[in-house]
Chains A and B, each alone.
Chain A
Amino acid sequence: DAGVIQSPRHEVTEMGQEVTLRCKPISGHDYLFWYRQTMMRGLELLIYFNNNVPIDDSGMPEDRFSAKMPNASFSTLKIQPSEPRDSAVYFCASSLTRGSTGELFFGEGSRLTVL
């Protein structure tokens, strides 16, 4: 089975540009998470969805960040406008609650560099 698929793997952009990160969760999983990883702050939970509905977005740093999940197989994280401090690795993860013990399956991440 395919794992969690993220794109792009690497993105370099200039300050002020819009950035869209994409995620395809594992088929059948009902939770989807977006994390951000930096050296300074470690792994931060930005937002998570359950059955395509955003449940908790308290980790989203600013209004410049938004996330959507239009269907069970696709989610986006958008940053508009981007700033250099947004440079980080962004991970998407999914999990299955029914019969599960809470294991998260992570994608390989999208490394964002904002110049």
Chain B
Amino acid sequence: AQSVTQPDIHITVSEGASLELRCNYSYGATPYLFWYVQSPGQGLQLLLKYFSGDTLVQGIKGFEAEFKRSQSSFNLRKPSVHWSDAAEYFCAVGAQGGSYIPTFGRGTSLIVHP
């Protein structure tokens, strides 16, 4: 069975600082990997996804993530955080081929200080 671990429940950064949110997954084959963002009072929105090819993927809002198979990781990064990036971030893993129902991590809450 697939699983996702987001080890940080909360992350606090200053506006303009760089950001890295960690995600580790467990899956026996090549996974689909996703990062979603949830702004307060909203549903989840896809930031980016990896399914094959280049292991560094670009997403919306200036985010990127790197798939590292050897570390079973898919960390989310942004070089300079804006106050509007404060939100909940979810990593998810899905199975390639057949049923791909994604498994979500518990989420990381990003707090941005001015």
Which B residues lie within 8 Å of A108 (CB)? 41-43
A103 touches B101 (CB 8 A): no
Which A residues lie within 8 Å of B107 (CB)? 42-43
Give the size of the chain B interface in residues (CB under 8 angstroms).
19
A97 touches B100 (CB 8 A): yes
Q: At the interface, yes or no: B51 with Cβ under 8 Å from chain A?
A: yes
Q: At the interface, yes or no: A106 with Cβ under 8 Å from chain B?
A: yes
B102 touches A104 (CB 8 A): yes
A104 touches B49 (CB 8 A): no
Q: In the bound complex, how far is the Cα of B43 from the Cα of A43, in angstroms?
A: 11
Q: At the interface, yes or no: A25 with Cβ under 8 Å from chain B?
A: no
Which of B44, B45, B94 sits near A102, CB closer than 8 Å? B94
Q: Which residue of A lies closest to B90 (CB)?
A: A43
Residue from A43, A102, A109 whose CB has the most chain B CB atoms within 10 Å: A102
With A42-B106, A43-B107 in contact, is A103–B34 under 8 Å at CB? yes
Q: At the interface, yes or no: A48 with Cβ under 8 Å from chain B?
A: yes
With A42-B107, A43-B104, A97-B100 in contact, is A106–B49 under 8 Å at CB? no
Residue from A33, A45, A56, A103 whose CB has the most chain B CB atoms within 10 Å: A103
B43 touches A109 (CB 8 A): yes
Expressed in whole angstroms, the minimum distance between the Cβ of B74 and any Cβ of chain A is 14
Which B residues lie within 8 Å of A97 (CB)? 100
Q: In the bound complex, how far is the Cα of B36 from the Cα of A105, in angstroms?
A: 10
Q: In the bound complex, how far is the Cα of B46 from the Cα of A102, in angstroms?
A: 11
Q: At the interface, yes or no: A91 with Cβ under 8 Å from chain B?
A: yes
The list of the 5 closest CB pairs from A to B, nearest first, reads: A106-B43, A102-B100, A102-B94, A42-B106, A106-B44
Residues in chain A within 8 A of chain B (CB atoms)? 4, 33, 42-43, 45, 48, 56, 91, 93, 97, 101-109
